[in-house]
Amino acid sequence: MGHRFELTDAEWAVIEPLLPNKPRGVPRVDDRRVLNGIFWVLRTGAPWEDMPERYGPRTTVYNRFNRWRKAGVWARLLEHLQADIEDSLYMVDSSVVRVHQHGTGARKKGDQRTKKPAARAAG
């Protein structure tokens, strides 16, 4: 396919057999295209409304994401994929993983919550 956030043929070959099979009724929209749309939203952090049109109607993509979440499809998919890499060792280099200063809970200079209340004069 060639777009940055889309599944490669090798990735699709692993995922496709794990997806639910719905032999009756109206055929589903292309699963690969919908998955690429879901992954685009998850990877970019963009709202569903900003998803490119090449992935199809955003309501279709969003509804499939939610239906599969409720049905446990994502959990089963991740379980299966994790079982394949269980013997591998993965590490995260924490020297490049940082939280923004506002995300640490640190108080700002001059923040009223850091100053102690003045003692009231007995009257």
Task: Give yes or no for a contact between 48 and 62, defined as CB atoms under 8 angstroms apart.
Answer: yes
Question: What number is the average pLDDT over the span 97-118?
Answer: 63
Per the document, the length of the chain is 123
| 122 has a pLDDT exceeding 60 | no
Phi, psi (degrees; rounded to nearest 5) at 50: -90, 0
CA distance 36 to 84: 22
pTM of structure: 0.65
Kindly state the tokens that stand for 81.
Answer: 């994929």
- Residue whose tokens read 């102690």: 116
Handedness of CA 74, 79, 81, 85 (dihedral sign): positive
